[in-house]
Structure 1
Amino acid sequence: MKPTIESILQNQLNNIQAEVIMTAYNEFEPGWFEQKTEPDFFRFGYTVKGEARLNIQNDTYFVQPGTLYFLPAGTKQSFGTEGNEKLGLYWCHFRLELSDFQVINALQLPPFVYVKDKEMMKNLFIKMNEYQHCKSITRELRLKSVLLELLAYYLEESHVQRTTFQQSDFEVKWNEVLAYIEANLHQNIQIEELAKFAFLHPNYFITSFKNIMGCSPIQYVTNRRIAIAKQLLMETELPVAVVAKQVGMQNHYLSRLFKRYTGITPVQYRRIGKNTGTNRKTLTTRMNEEKS
């Protein structure tokens, strides 16, 4: 996938809003079957014993223990046991905002993935079940954190970075827009110029950009400049003034903006990063010496 498209997808995923509706563990007797429905929520299911049969739209799948399956909202689906053994199943129902719903559907995720670390996956569902019954004010935050962990795992195992991300808004040439930004971070970037690449009026361009990227064009450019500055500070010995120039800022402005974004100055960021890197190398060297 092109880096520009990957940036768009990453921004979309970073802003996902998810809500856990219900989660539980159940065991189902042989012969159990749930008729076709078209729920307005998404489903995750993790099989730990027995075999299940999934029907999604007009396709049928058989899932074994250690399989994490995903049922999209708004699709015709039914499922049940297969064979003569009880089905042991952790499951979770959750909702997404409409825009996130569209993003997930556009990814065309597979119906299931095979879980390598079965204990880790089981523990995620156990944690979610525990959080569901707690009465803490942080209950929803904890539920959401586990759900996002599940979703991230599923996306990674589905290799979404290789997926062609298609959306109607992409008829506009967003690749060219983001590529232009990336190539011109060292100089002043005008909204009017970006809008020309997208063949849009500047006002409509700003709205469309925000809908796709989750932030305004100015915010995106600033985020990219800070990210490149961080990279240069860690990977080179360039003076801060030179780093500032390479990301299109005055030295004093980069220092002020950098501190606002990170809480520390560029010089402090470099020093902390270098020290952390040195400590990590020292620890690795020590561990290798102990092994040998």
Structure 2
Amino acid sequence: MPMNPALSPTNLNLTEEIRNEKVVYQNPLLFLKIWEIKHDVPHFGTPDPWSWHWHKQVEFLVVTQGQLAIQTKDAYTILEAGDVMLLGSSQPHRTHKYAEEPLHQIVFQIDLTQHFDLSSLAYLHLFSELTHSLEPFNALLRSNDTVRTGAYQLIRQIYEESQSRQIGYELAIVAAIKHLLLLLLRNDTRDLAGLTEDSGISRLRPALDYIDEHLTERITVEDVCRILNLSYHYFIKYFKKVMGLSFIDYVNYKRIKKAERLLLTGDLSIMEISYEAGIQNMAQFYKLFKRYNQCSPKEFKQRLRDQTEIQDEQLMTQEVE
């Protein structure tokens, strides 16, 4: 699973719109969609246009044959047969067939947060992405052969059960999903012991939804307090306890994530992006963006352009060899 954070394909198009892909669940009660894609023709490389997309569901990519290239805002990765990659909720990405040989892959999209009951609710926030990124699990999948093989087999099992639809297939799928979550959790080298208390996110859900729907507008603590029918002081303390960061920091985080998606499209000025993300003060926007990305919005955009030149050089070297 080679990965280079400074690498991207040659036709990186920063003017592409990022499509919000609406996932239609194959079984609404299981909150998932899983299918196999086969590219058996010799043609490979980046399509034109090569479009970005995102969806609110988490996505697992499993390669069963050939090579798949995937680009996110942070890295360009080549997946080979047996590899598994996890894409977080709302993470912009795009893929293409990387080599001439046939490419077979399984795409598994799922709302992980729906697969926790009262007995396992204490672990919900470790997979909800509201307080913890899912990216460390990719490092685990890359470095641990046992975890990668286990995840690969479980996702193939989920796919096969969804296709056969034998009696009890729903139970088999739910069991495999829980086994997959347990596999990731048990093998994570981070200290998660202190992060397993009931996070209370379900109680905050109306507030979190309100924030998502009104990011371009002015959002106040008082607005959200009225939705939850909580006092100002209780709410700010409760929010910090549950989310691990203050209400203001959470809103700013969501706004910068939206700005990142808009920067990938390239058809808005940085000022317009700032306004679209709900930040009217440009100085504040630059300050917040640099806090979360360690670079300015302009540098963020330039980094994507620079990736194109690096990939051009690598492909030219391969042709010479």
Q: TM exceeds 0.5?
A: no
TM-score, structure 1 as length reference: 0.43
| Structure with greater Cα Rg | 1
TM-score, structure 2 as length reference: 0.40
Which structure is higher in helix share?
A: 1
Greater relative contact order (Cα < 8 A, sep 6+)? 2
Which structure is higher in strand share?
A: 1
